[in-house]
């Protein structure tokens, strides 16, 4: 300490300059420590806290006018249920579906017990007590023997004719439509990788290799390509598309190591004709990919803040707008970054999150409205909140360190503000990109099971099959039954009208046998 004091300059001016320099270094270090502490708090919240982004923040003062003016607000408000201590009612068991087949098992008293224990008279039947149990029979397999009758001339013994086989999903294959639909559904809906399915099939007496199942998936992906092409035409005509991407690993890609990341691009359209969800595999995340996938599209494109969409968004025919869920996530992280301090003394992070929550409250009230009604309702109730939000944002932005969690939330929202408020322009538009993110979720869950694709052909086939399944689900179909219909009927189709009739939005669930 004495040596430090001795090295201090004697000139008061130099001493002040040195002091100012050191104070500046201390403030910078404090800022760095604050940022690091915020990162620790966020990581702790992700590791030990709830995964939900819901925060208990009072937004009533910002939103009373919308609840007062909208007649349906009361119906949208969750009912408050008081549960007295220790007097909770036992939940009732839901009845089993009426459509399931019933098997009756009658339980009767032994003959010697059909005597009254009081006066010894014979007992008579006075009613029945009926209870139901749910039973399950493991998957059963059967062999369909296709017998093709042959005819020949009894005189010349020539001109032999044989009845033709109906067109098959995979010609000369042992797989019937039901087996194919079962394997596809197990992998792409239930997330069961093919090697597990081979073990499951083996337990019920069927020996099938994983390579055989893989080849079937590739051939089915090619089979449904005409339907995918028609779905893409309808998607590009919709005028409103949500888009996102997620990673996928492909082991055997040309000129790329097996550990490199590839991408599955996902698009979702919303229209009166029905919802369409399309998956597309590509080795890269470059901005040329969405430009290629959206060639010929004009209308609104909703994405997250990824800069790879800027090129396609620069086209005059496309209006690029952003997702409020991503902005909300930034403010949620800013709240979590405060740790316990944020709970004790709510501040700007909670205020920003409250603004966004009030916008979502408006969306809940407007959920069942027509696009025109939603447009008017948003202009009346959301626009004033957004105006207040922007004034608050402009004031807070220069006062918060940009590297802090709150500073990044403010910067992200300010940078994308014109794209964030764009959803007010059309009542068809959603406030966030959650529709397409929910469509990606089954792929992400399945990826945890099957991990990777061996080759690009498999990735392309998976993209087509995921597209078919998720579009079917989005239009109210049960995946297995829909795929069974497709794999049965598609090989027989000869006209474009028949292809159109087989699309999920044109085939009502009741018509599927």
CATH number at residue 498: 3.30.420.10
CB 176 within 8 A of CB 491: no
Helix 371-396 / helix 60-69 crossing angle, nearest 10 deg: 160
CB 339 within 8 A of CB 41: yes
Asked, for residue 204, whether it belongs to a domain, the answer is yes
Domain range for 391 is: 325-428
457 shares a domain with 317: yes
Domain boundary among 401, 428, 455: 428
What is the per-residue pLDDT for 84?
52
CB burial readout 381-411, b (16+ within 10 A) else e: bbeebbeebeeebeebeeebeeebbbbbbbb
Quickly count helices (H) and strands (E) in the chain: 20, 8
What is the per-residue pLDDT for 59?
47
CB burial readout 115-127, b (16+ within 10 A) else e: eeeeeeeeeeeee
Asked, for residue 440, whether it belongs to a domain, the answer is yes
Tokens of 60: 């009533």
Q: How far apart are CA 390 and CA 413, in angstroms?
A: 9
315 shares a domain with 249: yes
User: Could you give the 3-state DSSP secondary structure of residue 189?
Assistant: coil
Torsion of CA 309, 310, 311, 314, to 10 degrees: 130
Asked, for residue 99, whether it belongs to a domain, the answer is no
510 shares a domain with 439: yes
pLDDT tens track, the chain, 513 positions: 566 666 667 677 777 777 777 777 777 666 666 666 666 665 666 665 666 666 555 544 444 444 444 433 333 333 444 445 555 666 777 888 888 889 999 999 998 888 988 888 888 888 888 888 888 887 778 888 988 898 888 888 778 888 888 899 999 889 999 999 999 999 999 999 999 999 988 888 888 899 999 999 999 999 999 999 999 999 999 999 999 999 998 888 887 888 888 999 999 997 777 899 999 999 998 999 999 999 999 999 999 988 889 999 899 999 999 999 999 999 988 888 877 665 545 688 899 999 999 999 999 999 889 999 999 999 999 999 999 999 999 999 999 888 888 999 999 999 999 999 999 999 999 999 999 999 999 888 888 888 778 888 999 999 999 999 999 999 999 999 999 999 999 999 989 999 999 999 998 765 545
287 shares a domain with 192: yes
Q: How far apart are CA 177 and CA 486, in angstroms?
A: 8
189 shares a domain with 279: yes
Nearby residues of 415 by Cβ (< 8 Å), 6 or more positions away: 305
313 shares a domain with 175: yes
Q: How far apart are CA 472 and CA 484, in angstroms?
A: 12
Domain boundary among 399, 428, 457: 428
What is the per-residue pLDDT for 42?
59
311 shares a domain with 183: yes
Nearby residues of 182 by Cβ (< 8 Å), 6 or more positions away: 139, 480
Asked, for residue 391, whether it belongs to a domain, the answer is yes
Q: How far apart are CA 460 and CA 445, in angstroms?
A: 18
What is the per-residue pLDDT for 3?
65
Torsion of CA 444, 450, 456, 457, to 10 degrees: -110
Q: What is the DSSP letter of 509?
A: G
263 shares a domain with 331: no
What is the per-residue pLDDT for 269?
93
CB 298 within 8 A of CB 279: no
Asked, for residue 233, whether it belongs to a domain, the answer is yes
291 shares a domain with 218: yes
What is the per-residue pLDDT for 76?
39
- Terminal-residue alpha carbon distance, the chain: 89
Asked, for residue 81, whether it belongs to a domain, the answer is no
Sign of CA dihedral 387, 389, 395, 398: negative
355 shares a domain with 208: no
Asked, for residue 363, whether it belongs to a domain, the answer is yes
Tally of structural domains, the chain? 2
In which residue are the tokens 């009373």 written? Answer: 64
Asked, for residue 121, whether it belongs to a domain, the answer is no
Residue among 146, 149, 145, 169 at smallest CA distance from 160: 149
Q: What is the DSSP letter of 408?
A: H
H or E element that contains 180: helix 177-188
Q: How far apart are CA 350 and CA 341, in angstroms?
A: 12
What is the per-residue pLDDT for 510?
53
Domain boundary among 428, 463, 490: 428
What is the per-residue pLDDT for 48?
57
Q: How far apart are CA 460 and CA 221, in angstroms?
A: 7
496 shares a domain with 452: yes
Q: How far apart are CA 237 and CA 439, in angstroms?
A: 20
329 shares a domain with 467: no
pTM across the whole model: 0.78
């Amino acid at each position: 300490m004495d040596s430090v004091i001795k090295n201090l300059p004697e000139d008061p001016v130099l001493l002040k300059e040195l002091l100012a320099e050191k104070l500046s270094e201390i403030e910078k270090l404090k800022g760095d420590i604050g940022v690091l502490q915020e990162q620790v708090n966020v990581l702790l919240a992700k590791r030990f806290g709830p995964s939900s982004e819901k925060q208990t923040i009072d937004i009533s003062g910002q939103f009373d006018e919308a609840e007062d003016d909208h007649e349906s607000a009361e119906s949208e408000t969750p009912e408050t249920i008081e549960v007295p201590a220790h007097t909770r009612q036992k939940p009732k068991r839901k009845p089993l579906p009426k459509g399931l087949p019933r098997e009756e098992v009658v339980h009767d008293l032994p003959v010697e017990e059909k005597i009254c224990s009081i006066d010894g008279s014979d007992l008579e039947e006075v009613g029945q007590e009926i209870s139901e149990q749910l039973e399950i029979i493991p998957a059963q397999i059967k062999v369909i023997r296709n017998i093709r009758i042959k005819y020949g001339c009894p005189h010349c013994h020539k001109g032999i004719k044989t009845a033709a086989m109906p067109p098959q999903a995979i010609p000369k294959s042992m797989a019937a439509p039901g087996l194919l639909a079962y394997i596809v559904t197990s992998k792409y809906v239930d997330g069961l990788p093919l090697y597990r399915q081979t073990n499951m099939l083996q337990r019920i007496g069927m020996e099938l290799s994983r390579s055989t199942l893989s080849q079937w998936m590739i051939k089915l992906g090619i089979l449904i390509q005409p339907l995918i092409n028609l779905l893409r035409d309808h998607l590009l005509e919709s005028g409103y598309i949500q888009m996102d991407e997620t990673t996928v690993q492909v082991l055997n890609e040309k000129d790329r190591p097996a550990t490199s990341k590839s991408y599955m691009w996902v698009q979702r359209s919303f229209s009166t004709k029905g919802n369409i969800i399309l998956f597309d595999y590509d080795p890269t995340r470059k901005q040329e990919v969405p430009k290629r996938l959206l060639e010929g599209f004009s209308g609104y494109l909703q994405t997250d803040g990824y800069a790879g969409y800027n090129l396609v968004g620069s086209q005059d025919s496309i209006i690029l707008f952003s997702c409020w869920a991503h902005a909300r996530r930034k403010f949620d992280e800013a709240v979590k970054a405060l740790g316990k301090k944020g709970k004790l003394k709510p501040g700007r992070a909670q205020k920003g999150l409250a603004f966004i929550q009030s916008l979502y409250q408006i969306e809940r009230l407007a959920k069942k409205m027509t696009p025109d009604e939603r447009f008017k309702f948003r202009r009346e109730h959301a626009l004033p909140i957004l105006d207040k939000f922007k004034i608050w944002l402009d004031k807070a932005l220069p006062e918060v360190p940009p590297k802090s969690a709150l500073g990044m939330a403010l910067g992200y929202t300010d940078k994308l503000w014109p794209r964030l408020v764009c959803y007010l322009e059309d009542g068809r538009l959603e406030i966030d990109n959650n529709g397409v993110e929910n469509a990606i979720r089954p792929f992400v869950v399945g990826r945890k099971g099957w991990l990777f694709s061996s080759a690009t052909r498999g990735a392309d086939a998976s993209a087509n099959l995921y597209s078919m399944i998720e579009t079917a689900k989005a239009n109210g179909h049960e995946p297995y039954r829909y795929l069974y219909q497709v794999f049965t009927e598609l090989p027989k189709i000869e006209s474009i009208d028949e292809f159109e009739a087989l699309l999920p939005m044109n085939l009502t669930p009741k018509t599927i046998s």
